Structure 1
Amino acid sequence: MKFSELAAWIGGATAALTDFWQETGLTGAQLSEKLDPEISNAVPFAEAQKGSITLLDSLKKLSSLAGSEASAVILPKDAEEKLAADGMKKWNPKGIALLFSDAPYQDFAKIVSHFDPPIPRPAAGIHPRAFVDETAKIGQNVTIMANVCVGPNVEIGANVILHPNVCLMEGVKIGDDSVLFPNVTVYEKCIVGARCILHAGVVLGAYGFGYDSSSGRHILSPQLGNVVLADDVELGANTTIDRGTFGSTRIGEGTKIDDLVMIGHNCQIGRHNLLCSQVGIAGSSTTGDYVVCAGQVGLADHISIASHVIIGAQAGVPGNLTEPGTYLGAPATNIQEMKRQFVAVKQLPDYWKTLKALAQKEQKAAVR
């Protein structure tokens, strides 16, 4: 595919390189090839070679352009102004074909899909090696692959895809257009909303870690609730969400949860949260809307996190966070206060030297 064809398809502006290449003395076919190279693949920036188009999605990375071997690069629209102001040779000494886009990330994704089309949706139908209980209700255009187990009174909406070895226990409900990847287990009475994605190894509805120890032994507490995922929730591989004791553990609409996240029983997770890998949320905790927990954040049990809170990686949260903002450290503290603490800690060696010198001075004075 010629670069000019690709640019016309995407609809972005291209860099004017005719003068640049004519100054090198190129003419004819050689000039045409430089101005309109053949594009055969779309790859990440570090992998780009001749014939590749790649993505440079930030002006901060513009200096990397000079070292690229790509035949073409897609850039954000504001890069066009900067290149015009500073001169093409400063940032693009190799004269790489450039495509400027208002949405470079999305446009590059379209180009990648063109050269490497995604695997099509599997055909609808029930595999002969799947088990589907006779009381289950199956919607239209559902795909049930080999070794799937669908228990009694399960309800599956339209266009759902169940990959191999998915297990849906009694009374489970799966909303329209949801996808469950291999080895997902959904315990009895749990509910998955529409357009949800559950990656391999997800477990919904296992017993909560709650015990009555009053007798001197750890006796499992009642586990009579369920897990409810609202619409458009995504769960990463091997994430687990425990069922409520009497009610529901809930995950709010649009929340996205990374791999290896654990959410305890009775938790109420708000809408549009982002929970990164290895986050752990102990039982009966609540988050508001648009909360972000970076990797390895730990939330204690029975606490509440306000909406629009961002918690930095490896932070430990022992109590409520009632104000929107960014929090770091253990115990998690507002970022401004934590920055002051970081500065103070870095200065401790100097303070120690000063104190030591003062102590030695006092000792010498006392001897006299």
Structure 2
Amino acid sequence: MARRISEIAAALGAEAVGNVDLAVKRPQEPTSAGVNDLALAMSARYAGAVAATKAKAAILWKDADWQALGLDAAVLVERPRLAMAHLTQSFDTPASGDGVSELAQVSAKAHLDEDVSVGPFTTIADAAVVGSGTLVASHVSVADGAKIGRNCHIHPGVRIGRNVLIGDNVILQPNVVVGADGFSFVTEGLSNEERAFMSLAKEPLSPPDDAIRHRIHSLGSVIIGDDVEIGANSTVDAGTIRSTSVGRGTKIDNLVQVGHNVVVGEDCVLCAQAAVAGSTVLGDRSVLGGKSGVKDNVVVGKDVVLGGGAIVLGNVDDGHFVMGYPAVDMLDHRAQMRGLKSLPALLKRLRNG
């Protein structure tokens, strides 16, 4: 559906200039935009591409000379990524369903509020509850006693375990698993990993008397707060006794592992391939960069940022930016890297006297 430049500017909370009644059909990169498209060039480095675009209108950086770029209209924005968020929300087609599919299997003991849609080959088990306005897509399984809030979007292939509690406005991308058993086993005597930690690797390891791993079952579940999004193929394990929890507003990327008993605070961000081991606490607004990891039973404070690949082996106080393995404050990490870089020259000087 076409939108006028004035409407787009209003949605972005930005300034519209030129022919604000000009209508555009879709946003596009400048090099591929046609005459009816809206070119996206929110940085001055795209000025050349805008000057060559076929589009008559564009979203530009705040102080851009839109007339010199040959445009008929423009929307001028101060914060490009925020503008992109509002723009994509405005142009996206909202998900919709067609009620409960005849090919879905919904238990007579489950409760579905009004305006719930359930796709084909989805199963909803006994005592499960799905809130109004929620879309449960195809090939989803919702286990006994699970509760899904209002206006959620559960994408295809999602698995929701027993007694999982999911808040309102939650998005679970394809193949998310919430509420699988935690990875928790114990041997009769001390295992090799326990002996390694206790001896600090000072003693050689040998086969234990009994290496059988006895499974610790997960009797808890998972609590997901409102406005949480979990990316494709990510997992949040059930707690052993108490529930694992993910706080309101937290966003989890694809391929992320949240272990059993973990407490994730509000408005956190966990980027792709991050992993949080069991019984760890992440404070509000923590950010875990891609491929970062946090060991079990530690506390990461509020407003902490882990750089990509950082591995946290101990508690981190509020407000720190840490990097490296083991993770240390960013400035210390950079000093260590500079020191390592200078080692070859230093060794050469020492050899030469």
* 1:47 alignment partner in structure 2: 32
* 1:362 alignment partner in structure 2: none
* SS of alignment partner, residue 349 of structure 2: helix
Larger % of helix: which? 1
Q: Which runs of 5+ in 2 are unaligned?
A: 10-14, 190-209
1:323-342 equivalences in 2 (<5 Å): 323-342=318-337
* 2:116 alignment partner in structure 1: 142
Query: By how many angstroms is 1:333 displaced?
Result: 1.0
What is the one-letter code of the residue matched to 2:57?
A
Q: What is the count of residue pairs matched by the alignment?
A: 326
Counterpart selection for 2:148 from 174, 182, 187: 174
CA distance in 2 between partners of 1:121 and 1:111 (Å): 20
* 2:71 alignment partner in structure 1: 96
Q: Which runs of 5+ in 1 are unaligned?
A: 17-34, 359-368
Contact 1:174–1:191 (8 Å) recurs in 2: yes
Contact 1:101–1:107 (8 Å) recurs in 2: no
Query: By how many angstroms is 1:351 displaced?
Result: 1.6
* SS of alignment partner, residue 315 of structure 2: coil
1:67-82 equivalences in 2 (<5 Å): 68=53, 70-76=55-61, 78-80=62-64
* 1:14 alignment partner in structure 2: 17
* 1:198 alignment partner in structure 2: 172
Report percent identity of matched pairs.
28
Contact 1:43–1:52 (8 Å) recurs in 2: yes
Contact 2:105–2:123 (8 Å) recurs in 1: yes
Query: By how many angstroms is 1:42 displaced?
Result: 2.4
CA distance in 2 between partners of 1:269 and 1:188 (Å): 20
* SS of alignment partner, residue 79 of structure 1: coil
* SS of alignment partner, residue 55 of structure 1: strand
CA distance in 2 between partners of 1:351 and 1:272 (Å): 46
Query: By how many angstroms is 1:64 displaced?
Result: 5.2
* SS of alignment partner, residue 126 of structure 1: coil
* 1:21 alignment partner in structure 2: none
1:215-250 residue CA offsets vs partner (Å, 9 max, x unmatched): 521010131100110111110001111110011000
1:105-132 residue CA offsets vs partner (Å, 9 max, x unmatched): 6666777788x76165122x21111111
CA distance in 2 between partners of 1:110 and 1:351 (Å): 53
TM-score (norm 2): 0.83
Counterpart selection for 2:288 from 293, 312, 320: 293
* 1:268 alignment partner in structure 2: 263
Evaluate the alpha carbon distance shift between residue 339 and residue 45 of structure 1 in structure 2; reply closer, same or farther with a 3 A threshold. Answer: farther
Evaluate the alpha carbon distance shift between residue 209 and residue 40 of structure 1 in structure 2; reply closer, same or farther with a 3 A threshold. Answer: closer
CA distance in 2 between partners of 1:346 and 1:71 (Å): 51
* SS of alignment partner, residue 145 of structure 2: coil
* 2:104 alignment partner in structure 1: 130
Contact 1:41–1:112 (8 Å) recurs in 2: no
* SS of alignment partner, residue 340 of structure 1: helix
Contact 1:79–1:100 (8 Å) recurs in 2: no
Evaluate the alpha carbon distance shift between residue 111 and residue 218 of structure 1 in structure 2; reply closer, same or farther with a 3 A threshold. Answer: closer
CA distance in 2 between partners of 1:133 and 1:345 (Å): 62
Counterpart selection for 1:121 from 96, 103, 127: 96
Contact 2:5–2:23 (8 Å) recurs in 1: no
* 1:159 alignment partner in structure 2: 133
TM-score (norm 1): 0.80
What is the one-letter code of the residue matched to 2:110?
A
Check if 1:185 corresponds to 2:159: yes
Contact 1:240–1:263 (8 Å) recurs in 2: yes
What is the one-letter code of the residue matched to 1:315?
A
Evaluate the alpha carbon distance shift between residue 347 and residue 64 of structure 1 in structure 2; reply closer, same or farther with a 3 A threshold. Answer: farther
CA distance in 1 between partners of 2:315 and 2:87 (Å): 46
Query: By how many angstroms is 1:211 displaced?
Result: 0.9
What is the one-letter code of the residue matched to 1:251?
V
Evaluate the alpha carbon distance shift between residue 219 and residue 108 of structure 1 in structure 2; reply closer, same or farther with a 3 A threshold. Answer: closer
Evaluate the alpha carbon distance shift between residue 345 and residue 64 of structure 1 in structure 2; reply closer, same or farther with a 3 A threshold. Answer: farther
CA distance in 2 between partners of 1:302 and 1:113 (Å): 38
Contact 1:326–1:334 (8 Å) recurs in 2: yes
CA distance in 1 between partners of 2:85 and 2:293 (Å): 34
CA distance in 1 between partners of 2:321 and 2:82 (Å): 29
* SS of alignment partner, residue 63 of structure 2: helix
CA distance in 1 between partners of 2:185 and 2:87 (Å): 54
Query: By how many angstroms is 1:157 displaced?
Result: 1.1
1:140-191 residue CA offsets vs partner (Å, 9 max, x unmatched): 1100111110111111111111100110111111111111111111111111
CA distance in 1 between partners of 2:32 and 2:109 (Å): 52
CA distance in 2 between partners of 1:330 and 1:184 (Å): 33
224-233 or 58-67, which deviates more: 58-67
Contact 2:59–2:77 (8 Å) recurs in 1: no
